C-alpha cells in the first residue's frame, strides 16, 4: 500500500480557540429565514429558455422508431434532440472506479438504440416556458421493443438476461482480498455467526431537486453553468474534458443548495446537455428537475446484500471476519462514484469497525440491473457495512448470552494507534468510552426492568445499539490508505481588510452544513479577531478557491485546514508589523481577542484593526523588506487518514396491532475530535439519524418485476415526518485529531451510517419474545406484524434464533 | 362554460399587503405566480404535488399549498408569503427562534414551516408540543430531524406569551 509523504500543505497552525467550540449562530440563517436565499430555481438569466426531458417509461427496450418532428413543430419549441443529435458532441460519460475488477460503462447523455432503465433521458426539449416544454414532450412519437428486464442483483450476477450490453456478465465490479489467517480463524472457531443483511434501495431525496442553467457566449467562448452540485470544480473539469469548452472561460456557479447528501456529488447527463443546448440555441437554458424526475433519475442509493460472518473463539472474541457485499448497481456507472462505491466501501472500509479483529477477508461485487444507477448517499457503503457488522454483533451477543454492551466491550480495540488487518491505521479514538457512555445514558438495567414489565402488559419495547468508525476528512491519504489513488486538495483565500475584518473564500460548495459559519470561526481564531468580523463565501464560483468536493465528511476538516493555513500566512504578516510597531520580536507577538500583544508584557498591545490599517496606509509601520499583501491562498490536504467514532442507542416500541415501529428516543455519542460548533454537529447527528430511520423503516424505492418503478411521488416514497421523529440526547466526546487544524474530524455522515443498525437491533430486541430475527430493510409494518405473529417473517432471509 | 388550461384569465389578489393584477393562463399555479410574476421567490417548490409543504403560503390566513392552488383560485384573496414575516429589517420572533434553535440547515423547506407555524400561532398562541407536531407534521424537512423546528415554534410561542403578558400589564 502506497503511503503518503507529508507535504507542506498538510501542516496547520496551532491557535488559541476562542470562537471554535462555541455555539455561534449561523450567518446563513437571516437570508434563508426571510426568503432571500438564492437557490437555482430562483435564478433567472435574461433571455432564458426552459428545458424538459422525455424519459423512458420502460425498464429495458430497443427503440425501433423515434420521431421528434411533432415536438419540433409545437408552438414555443426552440429545439428538440434525441440521442442521435447529441452523440456527435459527446458519446457519453465513462463511469468506473479505479479499483481492480471494475468494468467501466459509457452512459449516453440521451439514450441511443436501447433504454436501460425507467427514467433514462431519451429526448430533450427547449421551449419558451417550462409549461410549453412539458406540453411538447407529450408529442413524442416512438416505438420500442421491450427486452427482458433484469431487476434482481442475485439473478443478474448469476448470469441470464443482460441488463446493459456493455457489461455482458452483468458485473460492474468484482474483487476481493484477504488479510491475516482467515481460514485458520474460521477452521478453529468455537462458533461462527453469520447472516445476510439487505439494505433496500432508497433516495437521498434532498428537499431541493437538481437543477442546471447554462449560458454560452460564442463571441468569447465563455460558458457559465449554474448547478447545485457538491463538486463544482470537478464538473468544470468535465465540461472541458468531455465537451471541449475552453477551461479558462468556464465558470461553474453553485447557488444556495437545498441539501445534497451525495446525490448532488455526481456529474449527470443533464449537466452535460444544458451547455450543448445553450450553445446550439444561442440563448441561456434552464432546467429544474421535478420531484418525479428526482425519484427516478437522480442517483439511487444503498441497495445491496451483505453476507457477513464472524469466527468466535471460546472466549467470545472475534478472531476473523468474512464479508461479501453484492450491490444492485442499476444500469450504468454514474461518474465519478459509480455503482462500485457502495459494495466496495461496505466490504473494504467497514468490517472491523471498533473490534479488535486480527483477520479479515472480503469480496465485493456490483451487479448491473435495469434500474436507476446507484450512487453516493451520505456515508456510501459505510451504512450497509456498518449495518451488517453491528447487527451481526447483536447476533453474536445473543449466541453468547451477552448483553450488546458487554459483547462490544469484550471485543473493542483498547489501544491506539491500532492497525487493522488491512493495514489501515487508526490514530486515536474513544471506542470503549462510546460503549460505556451509551450504556450509562440509556440506564441499561432500568431499561431491562421496564422492558420486562411492559412485556407482561403485552407491550414490546426494544433497545438497539450501533457503534461506528467513520472515515472522515476524505483526503489523498485516506484514499491511499484504502488502496485507491484519488488525489484531493482544496484551497482557501483569506484577506484581512483595512479595518481589521476578514473575507474568506473556500473551494467547497455548501448544502446546508453551515460552512460559512464554521469557517468564519476557524478564520477568526487564527487571525485573533471576532467571528462576526469574518465573512465567508463558500464556492459560489469556480473562479475562486479550488475544491475537491463537499463529500466524505470532509468540509470542516479540509476547508478548515485550508482556511487556517491561509489565515496563518496573513497572521504572520500582522505579527511582523505589530512587532515592528511595538518594538518587539515577531516571535513574541500573540494575536488573540482582537489584540496583537507582546507575550508577557502588560499593556504592550495594539488592536489588530490598527495593525491592519497601518499595513494598508502607514509606510512607517512596515519593517524592512515588508511585502504588504494581506491576502493569501493556501491549500490543505490531511497528511493521514482520520476517523471519527461514536454510536447510537435507539429505543423503539412495536405496535402489536399495526406492526408500526414507534421511535421513543435516540441516544447519540459522537467523537469528531474538536467540535467547531456544537449546534451544527448536533444538527448533523439529528438529521443523519432521521435519514437512517427513514432508510430503515419508511423509505424504499420499489420496482415491479418488469422493472417499473412504483415510487414516483412523496406519497409513495415516504420520508420520515415530524410526528415520527424522536427526541435526542447527545453526548460529545472529544479526542482531537493529531494532525488536522484545531484537531477537527469530520462527522457529517455518521448519523445515517450507524442509525439503521441500531434500528434493526432495537426491533429485533423488541421481537425477542417471538423468536424471530429480521435482517432486511425496510422494517415495514407487514414484516414486523409477520414476525410478531410468530410466523417466519415475510422476508426470505428472516430466520429463527 | 369550460375553460382550456391555456386560456388566459384576469386575476387580482393581495400579496403581503400589496395589490397585484395580471392576466395568466388558467393552469398557472399560484406558486409560479408568486415566484415568477410577483417576483417573490421565497416560496419554494419541493415536490409540486402537495406533499412536502415547502410551498405553503397563507391564503386568507389559512395555510395552503401554492403548488396545488391555481393563481386564478386566489382571485380576490389575501395572500401572505415568507417575505411578509420580518419586522422591517429584523427577524420576527418566530424567525429568530428558528435561528436560535438551529431549526434550519439548507433552508429550502423553511418558508413552508414558518408559514404553517405562523398560522398555528395566530390561531392558538399557546400550543403544546403535541399541538405543534400535529399541525406542522404536514411539512417535510430532510436536514434537521424536526426536533429543533418544534423547539423553535415552542420558543416563539413562549416569547409571544411573554410579550402579551407585558402588554397586558
Which pLDDT tens digit goes with each residue over A559-583? 999 999 999 999 999 999 999 999 9
Rounded CA-CA distance A95/A334 in Å is 6
Whether A719 and B44 lie within 8 Å, measured CB to CB: no
| Mean pLDDT computed over every residue of chain A | 96
Closest CA in chain A for residue B130: A723
Closest CA in chain B for residue A205: B142
Whether A33 and B35 lie within 8 Å, measured CB to CB: no
What domains can be seen in chain A, in order of their start residue?
8-37+489-636 (3.30.365.10), 412-473+640-801 (3.30.365.10)
Whether the ω angle into residue B143 lies within 30 degrees of 0, i.e. cis, is no
- A206: closest CA of chain B, how far (Å): 6
Residue A5: the pLDDT is 74
pLDDT in tens, A624-645: 999 999 999 999 999 999 999 9
Residue A630 in 3-state DSSP? coil
Residue A54 in 3-state DSSP? strand
> A26 contacts in B (CB within 8 Å)?
99, 102
Cell of A30: 437571516
Residue A487 in 3-state DSSP? coil
- B108: closest CA of chain A, how far (Å): 5
Residue for grid cell 463565501: A537
- B169: closest CA of chain A, how far (Å): 32
Selected for mutation to probe chain A from B53, B143, B150 (highest A CB count within 10 Å) is: B143
> Is-contact A359 A319, C-beta < 8 A?
yes
Walk across the sheet containing A171-179 and list its strands: A171-179, A360-368, A318-330, A304-312, A191-199
Cell of A87: 452523440
Q: What share of chain A is helix, strand, coil (3-state, %, to 5)?
A: 30, 25, 40
Q: What are φ and ψ of residue B140, in 5° steps?
A: -105, 140
Whether A42 and B35 lie within 8 Å, measured CB to CB: yes
Rounded CA-CA distance A594/A745 in Å is 27
Closest CA in chain A for residue B43: A35
Residue A92: the pLDDT is 97
Residue A186 in 3-state DSSP? helix
Please determine, for the modelled complex, whether the ipTM score is greater than 0.85: yes
Say which of B91, B106, B147 has its CB closest to residue A30: B91
Residue B3 banded pLDDT, cuts 50, 70, 90: confident
All structural domains of chain B with their residue ranges: 8-82, 93-168
Q: In DSSP terms, which residues pair with A425 in a beta bridge?
A: A419
Whether B99 and A683 lie within 8 Å, measured CB to CB: no
> Is-contact A554 A498, C-beta < 8 A?
no
- A494: closest CA of chain B, how far (Å): 25
Whether A32 and B110 lie within 8 Å, measured CB to CB: yes
Angle at which helix A269-281 crosses helix A232-243, to 10 degrees, equals: 60
Residue A445: the pLDDT is 98
Whether A722 and B45 lie within 8 Å, measured CB to CB: no
Selected for mutation to probe chain B from A207, A518, A716 (highest B CB count within 10 Å) is: A207
pLDDT in tens, A145-180: 999 999 999 999 999 899 999 999 999 999 999 999
In this structure, the number of other CB atoms found within 10 A of the CB of residue B165 comes to 9
Rounded CA-CA distance B126/B121 in Å is 7
Q: Which residues of A168-206 are buried (b: 16+ CB within 10 A; e: fewer)?
A: eebbbbbbbebbbbbeebbeebeeebebbbbbbbbbbbb
> A715 contacts in B (CB within 8 Å)?
49, 51
Residue B169: the pLDDT is 39
Q: What are φ and ψ of residue A437, in 5° steps?
A: -65, -40
Residue A4: the pLDDT is 75
> A689 contacts in B (CB within 8 Å)?
145
Pairs of CB atoms within 8 A across A/B: 165
Whether A29 and B107 lie within 8 Å, measured CB to CB: yes
Q: What are φ and ψ of residue A489, in 5° steps?
A: -165, 140
Strands A304-312, A191-199: pairing kind: antiparallel
* CATH level 3 topology of B8-82: Ubiquitin-like (UB roll) (3.10.20)
Which one-letter DSSP state was computed for residue A148? P
Whether A714 and B47 lie within 8 Å, measured CB to CB: yes
Q: What are φ and ψ of residue A186, in 5° steps?
A: -75, -35
Closest CA in chain B for residue A256: B106
Rounded CA-CA distance A411/A432 in Å is 10
In the predicted model, residues of chain A with pLDDT beneath 70 are 1-3, 790-801
Closest CA in chain A for residue B86: A34
> Is-contact A261 B142, C-beta < 8 A?
yes
Rounded CA-CA distance B146/B102 in Å is 10
Whether A35 and B25 lie within 8 Å, measured CB to CB: no
Say which of B43, B45, B147 has its CB closest to residue A725: B147
> Is-contact A71 A124, C-beta < 8 A?
no
Say which of B54, B105, B150 has its CB closest to residue A687: B105
**Homologous superfamily of the B93-168 domain (CATH):** [2Fe-2S]-binding domain (1.10.150.120)
Mean pLDDT for B44-72 is 98
Residues 6 or more apart in contact with residue A45 via CB below 8 angstroms = A213, A215, A284, A286
Amino acid at each position: 500500500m502506497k503511503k503518503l509523504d507529508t507535504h507542506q500543505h498538510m501542516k496547520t497552525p496551532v491557535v488559541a480557540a476562542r470562537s471554535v467550540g462555541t455555539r455561534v449562530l449561523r450567518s446563513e440563517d437571516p437570508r434563508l429565514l426571510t426568503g432571500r436565499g438564492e437557490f437555482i430555481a430562483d435564478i433567472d438569466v435574461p433571455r432564458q429558455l426552459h428545458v424538459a426531458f422525455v424519459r423512458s417509461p420502460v425498464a429495458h427496450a430497443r427503440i425501433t422508431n423515434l420521431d421528434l418532428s411533432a415536438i419540433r413543430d409545437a408552438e414555443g419549441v426552440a429545439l428538440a434532440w434525441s440521442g442521435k443529435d447529441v452523440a456527435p458532441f459527446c458519446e457519453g460519460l465513462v463511469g468506473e472506479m479505479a479499483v481492480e475488477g471494475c468494468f467501466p460503462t459509457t452512459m449516453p447523455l440521451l439514450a441511443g438504440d436501447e433504454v436501460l432503465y425507467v427514467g433514462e433521458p431519451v429526448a430533450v426539449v427547449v421551449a419558451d416556458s417550462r409549461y410549453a416544454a412539458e406540453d411538447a414532450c407529450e408529442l413524442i412519437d416512438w416505438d420500442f421493443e421491450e427486452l427482458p428486464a433484469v431487476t434482481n442483483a442475485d439473478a443478474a450476477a448469476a448470469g441470464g438476461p443482460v441488463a446493459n450490453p456493455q457489461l455482458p456478465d452483468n458485473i460492474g465490479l468484482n474483487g476481493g482480498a484477504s488479510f491475516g489467517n482467515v481460514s485458520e480463524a474460521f477452521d478453529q472457531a468455537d462458533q461462527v455467526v453469520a447472516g445476510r443483511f439487505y439494505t433496500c434501495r432508497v433516495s437521498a431525496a434532498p428537499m431541493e431537486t437538481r437543477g442546471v442553467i447554462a449560458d454560452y457566449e460564442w463571441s468569447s467562448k465563455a460558458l457559465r453553468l449554474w448547478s447545485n452540485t457538491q463538486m463544482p470544480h470537478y464538473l468544470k473539469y468535465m465540461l472541458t474534458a468531455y465537451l471541449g469548452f475552453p477551461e479558462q472561460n468556464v465558470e461553474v456557479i453553485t447557488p444556495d443548495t437545498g441539501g445534497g447528501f451525495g446525490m448532488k456529488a455526481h456529474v449527470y447527463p443533464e449537466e452535460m446537455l444544458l451547455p450543448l443546448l445553450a450553445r446550439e440555441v444561442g440563448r441561456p437554458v434552464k432546467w429544474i428537475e421535478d420531484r418525479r424526475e428526482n425519484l427516478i433519475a437522480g442517483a439511487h442509493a444503498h441497495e445491496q446484500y451483505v453476507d457477513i460472518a464472524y469466527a468466535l473463539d471460546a472466549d467470545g472474541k472475534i478472531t476473523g471476519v468474512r464479508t461479501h457485499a453484492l450491490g444492485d448497481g442499476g444500469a450504468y456507472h454514474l461518474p465519478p462514484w459509480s455503482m462500485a462505491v457502495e459494495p466496495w466501501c461496505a466490504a473494504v472500509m467497514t468490517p472491523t469497525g471498533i473490534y479488535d479483529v486480527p483477520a479479515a477477508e472480503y469480496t465485493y461485487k456490483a451487479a448491473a440491473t435495469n434500474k436507476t444507477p446507484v450512487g453516493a448517499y451520505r456515508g456510501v457503503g459505510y451504512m450497509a457495512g456498518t449495518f451488517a457488522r453491528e447487527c451481526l454483533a447483536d447476533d453474536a451477543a445473543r449466541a453468547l448470552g451477552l448483553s450488546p454492551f458487554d459483547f462490544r466491550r469484550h471485543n473493542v480495540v483498547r489501544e491506539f494507534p491500532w492497525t487493522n488487518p488491512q493495514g489501515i491505521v487508526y490514530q486515536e479514538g474513544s471506542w470503549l468510552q462510546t460503549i460505556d457512555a451509551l450504556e450509562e445514558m440509556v440506564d441499561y438495567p432500568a431499561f431491562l426492568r421496564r422492558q420486562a414489565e411492559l412485556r407482561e402488559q403485552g407491550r414490546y419495547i426494544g433497545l438497539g445499539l450501533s457503534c461506528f468508525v467513520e472515515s472522515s476528512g476524505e483526503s489523498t491519504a485516506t484514499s491511499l490508505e484504502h488502496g485507491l489513488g484519488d488525489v484531493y486538495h482544496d484551497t482557501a483565500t483569506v484577506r484581512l481588510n483595512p479595518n481589521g475584518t476578514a473575507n474568506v473564500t473556500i473551494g467547497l460548495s455548501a448544502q446546508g452544513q453551515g460552512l460559512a459559519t464554521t469557517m468564519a470561526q476557524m478564520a477568526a481564531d487564527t487571525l485573533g479577531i471576532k467571528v462576526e468580523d469574518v465573512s465567508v463565501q463558500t464556492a459560489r464560483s469556480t473562479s475562486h478557491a479550488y475544491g475537491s468536493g463537499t463529500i466524505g465528511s470532509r468540509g470542516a476538516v479540509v476547508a478548515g485546514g485550508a482556511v487556517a493555513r491561509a489565515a496563518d500566512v496573513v497572521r504572520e504578516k500582522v505579527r511582523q508589523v505589530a512587532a515592528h510597531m511595538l518594538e518587539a520580536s515577531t516571535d513574541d507577538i500573540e494575536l488573540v481577542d482582537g489584540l496583537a500583544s507582546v507575550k508577557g508584557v502588560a499593556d504592550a498591545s495594539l488592536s489588530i484593526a490598527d495593525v491592519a490599517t497601518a499595513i494598508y496606509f502607514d509606510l512607517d509601520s512596515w519593517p524592512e523588506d515588508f511585502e504588504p499583501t494581506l491576502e493569501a491562498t493556501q491549500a490543505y490536504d490531511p497528511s493521514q487518514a482520520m476517523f471519527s467514532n461514536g454510536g447510537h442507542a435507539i429505543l423503539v416500541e412495536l405496535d402489536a396491532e399495526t406492526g408500526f415501529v414507534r421511535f421513543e428516543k435516540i441516544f447519540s455519542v459522537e467523537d469528531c475530535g474538536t467540535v467547531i460548533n456544537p449546534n451544527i454537529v448536533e444538527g448533523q447527528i439529528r438529521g443523519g439519524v432521521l435519514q437512517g430511520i427513514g432508510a430503515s423503516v419508511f423509505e424504499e424505492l420499489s420496482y415491479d418485476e418488469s422493472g417499473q418503478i412504483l415510487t414516483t411521488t412523496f406519497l409513495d416514497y415516504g420520508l420520515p415526518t415530524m410526528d415520527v421523529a424522536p427526541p435526542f440526547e447527545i453526548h460529545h466526546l472529544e479526542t482531537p485529531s493529531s494532525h488536522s487544524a484545531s484537531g477537527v474530524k469530520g462527522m457529517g455522515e455518521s448519523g445515517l451510517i450507524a442509525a439503521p443498525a441500531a434500528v434493526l437491533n432495537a426491533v429485533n430486541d423488541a421481537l425477542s419474545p417471538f423468536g424471530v430475527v429480521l435482517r432486511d430493510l425496510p422494517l415495514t409494518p407487514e414484516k414486523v406484524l409477520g414476525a410478531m405473529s410468530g410466523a417466519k417473517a415475510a422476508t426470505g432471509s428472516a430466520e429463527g434464533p | 362554460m369550460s375553460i382550456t388550461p391555456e386560456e388566459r384569465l384576469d386575476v387580482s389578489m393581495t400579496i403581503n399587503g400589496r395589490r397585484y393584477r395580471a392576466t395568466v393562463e388558467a393552469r398557472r399555479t399560484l406558486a409560479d405566480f408568486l415566484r415568477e410574476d410577483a417576483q417573490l421567490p421565497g416560496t419554494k417548490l419541493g415536490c409540486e404535488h402537495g406533499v412536502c409543504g415547502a410551498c405553503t403560503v397563507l391564503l386568507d390566513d389559512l395555510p395552503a399549498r401554492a403548488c396545488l392552488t391555481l393563481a386564478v383560485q386566489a382571485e380576490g384573496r389575501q395572500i401572505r408569503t415568507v417575505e411578509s414575516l420580518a419586522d422591517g429589517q429584523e427577524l420576527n420572533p418566530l424567525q429568530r427562534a428558528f435561528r436560535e434553535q438551529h431549526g434550519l440547515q439548507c433552508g429550502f423547506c423553511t418558508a413552508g414551516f414558518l408559514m404553517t407555524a405562523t398560522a398555528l400561532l395566530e390561531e392558538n398562541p399557546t400550543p403544546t408540543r403535541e399541538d405543534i407536531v400535529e399541525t406542522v407534521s404536514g411539512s417535510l424537512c430532510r436536514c434537521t430531524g424536526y426536533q429543533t423546528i418544534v423547539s423553535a415554534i415552542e420558543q416563539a410561542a413562549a416569547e409571544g406569551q411573554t410579550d402579551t403578558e407585558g402588554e397586558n400589564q
